[in-house]
Amino acid sequence: MSTQMTIELSAEKPRKHEFYRATLDLPATELQIEDALGRARFQNVSSQKYIDIEEAVLFDPSHLSVTTDDIHALNYLAKRLDSLSEEDEIKFEALYYARTRRLPEDEQIQVGSVINMTYGLDMIPLAVNVGTDYELGRFVVENDFDERFENVPDAALSYLDYKSIGKEFRERDDGVFYGKYYVPTRYHEPDNLYDGNHILPDSPSDSAVFSLLVAKAPETDPDEVLKSAQWLHLPESKDEMNSLAKQLGESRIEDCVFYDFISGIPQFERYMIQSMGDIDKLNELAEDYLSLSAEERTMFKAVMERRNVSTLDGAVSAFKSINDYEFSFDAEDADDFFKEYLAYHAPTNFDSRWLDGIRSDIDADRLLRRLGAEVTSYGIVSKHYGSLFALIGYDELEKYELIEVCGQPALFNDARIPDSAVPEGLYRYDLRCGEEDLLDGTIEPNVYVDHGGSILVKQPFEFDESGYIQLDEESSPNFTGEEMTAEEFAARDFTQDDDEDFDLGGMNL
């Protein structure tokens, strides 16, 4: 599908005269629409909401009346426009212009009326190489479209006022010149087929979480099988997938290859699928995703974004952990959350309007860091197993979780620990999530995607040529339940600690 229009969704924020905003290219799938609604907080706020058409390919959007109830109708219009032939596109543009050019300034056309303009276009004739009233006049006379000129001698034809004849026919036809085409729009008879519901059934791609363009594995040239490729929409039963594979010439779907990929989850991209060998795991993720509510799907995408997931295993791990996080959908940035945090801890009779004019970017960012929370496109997400509204003293130093990892004590933080927060004598490393979260993750000097947290240790790690340390059940993080600051950790001599309640691989804390 090609983009036919771009819309902007906006919803007024609860405590100030600003807006959540999200853009969406149409036509879109149902999940893409749901994602835009989530980013614009349409389901989470009761304030004013708007939809504006920022750009349209085949019509002037300033003439169109659009409400928040029209998003699916706009998407249907985009699908209809995307299905038009090149000739029908010309007829539609001319028809739309003819129907809107004489509208009063304060009057607009409804979306349903424009949808109905996309039907019955085959009833409109199209004259080629007719771009002026003069050319139209000659066309009318030479093709005997006017009985008045049928018996005019050839010698007299040059004396006819072709421009006036063409103007007369254009006005009668409500005709429009479109480049070198003439479109007599009066021949269009709208059937008023669109009544607010989809006329045609949705295609499987509309509800698919993932769509793959699948073909038989090529023997030499990839182009040799591309013409026979078909779209596979997930989730799908294994029997249906293998049936498609047999149609393509393979016995199993895993033996096929894919040439294109469309995702209903913006954070899940094509490079995260290594081969068709991942199809079962990908299909299971699609099934799990559709089993969630719309709000839970938004939470999953927020966790994906927070953890910078870059692999299929990382996405599966994020799905399993969505209930381990807290969310604030109302807060779009640190400043929003700062006000929400203060209001949460204020007395019940506190007038939150006192917060409207406050801007404290430095303290707002500091609060997020202290909580280990992060900003995403869908709201604020806590750290893993963290609380967004834990009471934090203003002068209190940031505390981290005490863990054991690879046989030595360490401090863990779900968010990134900046270099500026690392005291002298400690070393910072990042953890990358694996299929089972951190149980089979890795320790690396720096992790930018699938980030599972940062750790501080007293003894530096040594990496081989792979550049990472693989974690397993023995070496993965063991959480003690204790918290301390980096300064306390640096000063504490764990080898002299007589507390036998926590054993670190031979060392007692």
Provide the 3-class DSSP secondary structure of residue 445: coil
- Continuous H helices in 346-391: 361-371
Contact 10, 52 (CB under 8 A): yes
Residues 162 and 250 in one domain: no
Q: Taking the alpha carbons of 142, 148, 154, 159 in that order, is the dihedral positive or negative?
A: negative
Q: Answer with the one of 321, 341, 358 that is the final residue of a domain.
A: 321
| Spatial CA neighbour of 325 closest among 211, 421, 453, 222 | 453
392 assigned to some structural domain:
no
Give whole-number Cα distances, 27 to 78, 147, 206, 354, 389, in Å: 5, 47, 10, 43, 40
Residue 389 within any structural domain of the chain: no
Of 321, 339, 366, the one marking the end of a domain is 321
Does 180 fall in a domain?
A: yes
- Beta strands 399-405; 379-381: pairing state: unpaired
Q: Which tokens hold the place of 296?
A: 């839970």
Strands 469-470, 5-12: pairing is unpaired
Going by C-alpha positions, the residue among 411, 387, 408 that lies closest to residue 397 is 411
Instruction: Look at residue 202 and tell me if it is in a domain.
Output: no
Q: Are 426 and 489 in contact (CB under 8 A)?
A: yes
Phi and psi torsions of 444, nearest 5°: -140, 160
How far apart, in whole angstroms, are the C-alpha atoms of residue 497 and residue 81?
Answer: 73
Rounded Cα gap, residues 289 and 423, in angstroms: 42
CATH number at residue 177: 1.10.10
pLDDT tens-place values along the chain, 509 residues long: 799 999 999 999 876 678 999 999 999 999 999 999 999 998 777 778 999 999 999 999 999 999 988 999 999 999 999 999 999 999 999 999 999 998 888 899 999 999 999 999 999 999 999 999 999 999 998 888 888 887 777 777 778 899 999 999 999 999 999 999 999 999 998 767 776 665 555 566 678 999 999 999 988 777 778 889 999 999 999 999 999 999 999 999 999 999 999 999 999 999 999 999 999 999 999 999 999 999 999 999 999 999 989 899 999 999 999 999 999 998 899 988 998 999 899 998 888 778 877 777 778 888 888 888 999 999 999 988 889 999 887 766 778 889 999 989 999 988 888 787 788 889 999 999 887 778 889 999 998 888 888 999 999 999 988 999 999 888 888 888 888 888 889 888 887 654 544 444 433 33
Instruction: For residue 403, tell me if it sits in a domain.
Output: yes
Looking at the structure, tell me whether residues 148 and 107 fall in a common domain: no
Three-state secondary-structure class, residue 260: strand
Alpha carbons 106 and 101: distance in angstroms, whole number: 13
What is the rounded CA–CA span in Å between residue 449 and residue 463?
19
Domain containing residue 480: 399-508
274 and 355 part of one domain:
no
- Indicate whether 394 belongs to any domain: no
Q: Are residues 114 and 164 in the same domain?
A: no
Residues recorded for the chain: 509
Ordered DSSP codes for 19-74: EEEEEEEES--HHHHHHHHHHTTTTT--S-EEEEEEEESSS-GGGEE--GGGHHHH
What is the three-state SS of 309-349? CCCHHHHHHHHHCHHHCCEECCCCCHHHHHHHHHHHHCCCC
Same domain, 314 and 339: no
| 250 contacts 200 by C-beta, under 8 angstroms | no
Question: In terms of domains, do 373 and 332 share one?
Answer: yes
Burial grade of 348 (CB within 10 A; 0-12, 13-18, 19 or more): exposed
Shared domain for 313 and 403, answered yes or no, is no
Q: How many domains does the chain have?
A: 5
- For the whole model, what pTM was predicted? 0.75
User: How far is CA 62 from each of CA 52, 100, 446, 499, rounded to the nearest angstrom?
Assistant: 10, 10, 49, 73
Give the span between the Cα atoms of 457 and 445, in whole angstroms.
12
Q: Are 10 and 20 in contact (CB under 8 A)?
A: yes
